Amino acid sequence: IPLVKQFYRDKLVYAGAAFSELFKSMVGGPLGSKFSCEAKIDGEVIEWVGLTDMVINGTILYGGEWIFVDDSRADDGKFEIVPFRSHADWVSAAIRSHKHNPVTGDDREVVGLRSREFRRGSSFEVRLFRPQFGPEIPAQIDGEEFPTAHHYRVDNLFHHLRIIVPEDAHWI
């Protein structure tokens, strides 16, 4: 149906890209896509080992569909950095963090599921480390490919861009 196809075009692009990357990284073997990260967030150094993905987000919605950090806000002067430790972790986060998922963080805590690990800050300096002979770690900015690097610096320029968003992003 052409109208439905057009309506879901963007969603299919995200889903297709996610599936493609997930499949490629799984075929690469259990260590093929793992990397480590040293993040300096507002002066505090944090190390994460064995990551498959990492998201630095500046609004409540990631990719227009997922809410990884419930209390994040657009243009609050902060970014959130969210580490993912496995492909299963990413898939689990995608399911439970979808904006239309009626299960809340409080509901998950009742059954013993912890909140997603993240850090918040206005300035990030991130160093990535991959295994020797491991593949380059791809990067994106707002869904578009970005040159691969091993060191990134991200600063939040508070109130430099006018952003209009609804108060409750769960039901957009």
CATH number at residue 120: 2.60.200.40
70 is in which domain, residue-wise?
A: 31-171
Both tokens of 170, joined, read 């769960």
57: which strand partners? 80
Q: Is residue 25 part of a domain?
A: no
Q: Is residue 54 part of a domain?
A: yes
Q: What are phi and psi of 95, to 5 degrees?
A: -75, -50
**SS3 (DSSP) at 164:** coil
CA-CA distance, 70 to 79, in Å (whole number)?
13
Number of structural domains, the chain? 1
Residue type, 46: I
pLDDT at 111 over 90: no
Q: Is residue 6 part of a domain?
A: no
Most confident of 58-67, 82-91, 110-119, 122-131: 122-131
Find the range with the poorest average confidence among 2-16, 48-62, 106-120, 157-171: 2-16
CA-CA distance, 145 to 139, in Å (whole number)?
6
Q: Is residue 58 part of a domain?
A: yes
| CB neighbour class for 39 (10 Å; exposed up to 12, middle 13-18, buried from 19) | buried
Radius of gyration (Cα) for the chain, nearest Å? 17
Q: Is residue 10 part of a domain?
A: no
Give, to the nearest 10 degrees, the angle between helix 9-27 and helix 87-96.
160
Q: Is residue 162 part of a domain?
A: yes
Q: Is residue 26 part of a domain?
A: no
pLDDT at 162 over 70: yes
pLDDT at 43 over 70: yes
